[in-house]
Amino acid sequence: MLRDVAAIGAAMVAVGASFGAVAVAAGLPGWAVVAMSLLVYAGGAQFMAVGLVAAGSPVAAVLAGLLLNARHLPFGLTLGDTIGRRLRHRLLGSHLMTDEATAFTLARPAGAVRRRAFWLAGILLFLAWNAGTVLGVLAGGVVGDPAALGLDAAFPAGLIALLLPTLRDRDTRRAAVAGAVVAVLTTPLLPAGLPVLLALAGPALLAVRQLRRRASVAAGETGPSVTGDPVGSAQPRGEADVRPADAMPAEVVTAEVVPAGRKKESSC
Amino acid sequence: MLIAVILALAVGTYGFRVAGVLLRDRLDLPAWARQLLPVGAAALLAALAATAALTEVGRFAGWARPAGVLVGVLLAWRRAPFVVVILAAAGTAALLRLLGAP
């Protein structure tokens, strides 16, 4: 695991260095570039913001950057209970949540292993990105173009490699492929960030269908409805082919039932 | 002005991140919805990887990058170590660019 994180971390140092160099070349003072990497910590939005600030449109820089980062909300929903129970862990862990850290974490089975993966990837990648930025600011023009090293190909390949195990599940595979196709086709038409968010349309449809089925089952129980689904078919579709690799159901469900119940009692 | 941009971006981005993490506790999600969350995250990451592999500022990124990504993905599919996947993807794209591919 450490070696895998180190591989993507090395690439992040290089891209962080190119960010630092690009931002300084665009006229930003060094302290601002370093502060941006520390406080914003989102590569894509940082590159975009530097470009738009240099072009003289700071408001657009903020709006475009935030649109690009809206995807972190569903990431947080997914990783919420992996990060830890304590509030300070959650507050700190939230800042370390990136695409790569999320992919690393979700590639591990739920439980202690997944939690360790999150913190290892989160901390190391944060250090890598910021060390890279400082190097880039100091080295300035000496840092080469990351495209010449092929680093722009390394990140998508790494993300897909991390996703591959979860794609063995049929529903996940369909949602991922559909999301990728929708995002690529709408990229020329929509502002950056929005196409990626459209990938949530597939899972959202699954959710709506699930809700409808629930509703029809409930109707079948209370009255003599014709559409009464047999109860067996009402369980979530992914559950049919549970494999040890995505041990999500059992472990997470049991881990969460207790605190949820406790909360209800205390709120009374 | 620059400080305002950085702070607005930082606060907004952290807001998105922390909102999801903290909402997870407040929302009493049914089991099927909890199972759908990783599916949604996988769809987002796949969309991100696909757009990053194929496009650059809303246009086709040229052939070198997707070719590198494809080599990396094929190696990952053949269960090559992660380090090899990263190096092969970057190496392929870099080599193709050296040979003059866009």
pLDDT in tens, A148-201: 888 889 999 999 999 998 899 998 999 999 999 999 999 999 998 899 999 998
B66 and B34 part of one domain: no
Average pLDDT score over residue span B80-98 = 93
A66 and A41 part of one domain: yes
Give the Cα separation of A162 and B85 in Å (integer): 10
At B31 the pLDDT is 85
At A233 the pLDDT is 40
Q: Which residues contact B61 (CB under 8 A, 6 or more apart)?
A: A152, B53, B54, B55
At A122 the pLDDT is 97
CB contact under 8 A, B20 and A72: yes
Q: What's the total number of domains in chain B?
A: 2
Give the Cα separation of B97 and A102 in Å (integer): 30
Q: Does residue B52 form part of some domain?
A: no
A215 and A136 part of one domain: no
Helix axes A99-106, A72-83, angle to 10 degrees: 50
Q: What's the total number of domains in chain A?
A: 2
Q: What would the pLDDT profile of B4-27 be if each residue is shown by its tens digit?
A: 999 999 999 999 999 999 998 888
How far does CA B74 lie from the centroid of its chain?
17
DSSP state string for B20-42: HHHHHHHS---HHHHHHHHHHHH
User: Regarding predicted confidence, which is higher, A127 or B38?
Assistant: A127
State the smallest CA–CA distance between residue B100 and chain A in angstroms.
Answer: 11
Q: Does residue B24 form part of some domain?
A: yes
At A241 the pLDDT is 40
Residues from chain A that touch B51, judged by Cβ atoms under 8 A, are 180, 183-184, 187, 195-196
Q: Does residue B51 form part of some domain?
A: no
User: Regarding predicted confidence, which is higher, B9 or B36?
Assistant: B9
CB contact under 8 A, B20 and A74: yes
Q: Which residues pair with B56 in a beta bridge?
A: B59
CB contact under 8 A, A69 and B13: yes
Q: Does residue B66 form part of some domain?
A: yes
B39 and B3 part of one domain: yes
B68 and B31 part of one domain: no
Look up the domain containing B2 and give its range. Answer: 1-45
A34 and A161 part of one domain: yes
Q: Does residue B55 form part of some domain?
A: no
Contact A145, A15 (CB under 8 A): no
At A237 the pLDDT is 41
Give the Cα separation of B100 and B102 in Å (integer): 6
Give the Cα separation of A187 and B57 in Å (integer): 9
Contact A65, B11 (CB under 8 A): no
DSSP A85: S
> Which candidate, B17, B22, B38, B34, places its Cα nearest to that of A86?
B22
Look up the domain containing A194 and give its range. Answer: 170-242
Interface test with B, best of A172, A194, A213, A254 (most B CBs within 10 A): A172
- Taking CB atoms and an 8 Å cut-off, how many pairs form between chains A and B? 324
Q: Which residues pair with B31 in a beta bridge?
A: none
- B102–chain A Cβ distance below 8 A for any pair: no
Q: Does residue A253 form part of some domain?
A: no
At A141 the pLDDT is 64
B39 and B1 part of one domain: yes
Total H helices, total E strands in chain B: 4, 2
A96 and A229 part of one domain: no
Q: Does residue A225 form part of some domain?
A: yes
A182 and A155 part of one domain: no
- Dmax over Cα atoms in chain B, in whole Å? 56
What backbone torsions phi and psi does residue B62 show, to the nearest 5 degrees? 95, 170
Q: Does residue A65 form part of some domain?
A: yes
For residues A80, A84, A85 and A91, what is the CA-based torsion angle, rounded to 10 degrees?
-70
Local confidence pLDDT in tens for the 268 residues of chain A: 888 999 999 999 989 998 998 899 888 999 999 999 999 999 999 998 998 898 888 999 999 999 999 999 999 999 998 999 899 999 999 999 999 999 999 999 989 999 999 999 999 999 999 999 999 999 876 666 778 888 889 999 999 999 998 899 998 999 999 999 999 999 999 998 899 999 998 888 888 888 888 888 877 655 444 444 444 344 444 433 433 443 333 333 333 333 333 333 333 3
Is the ipTM higher than 0.90? The answer is yes
- Sole residue written with tokens 């689904």: A229
At A144 the pLDDT is 67
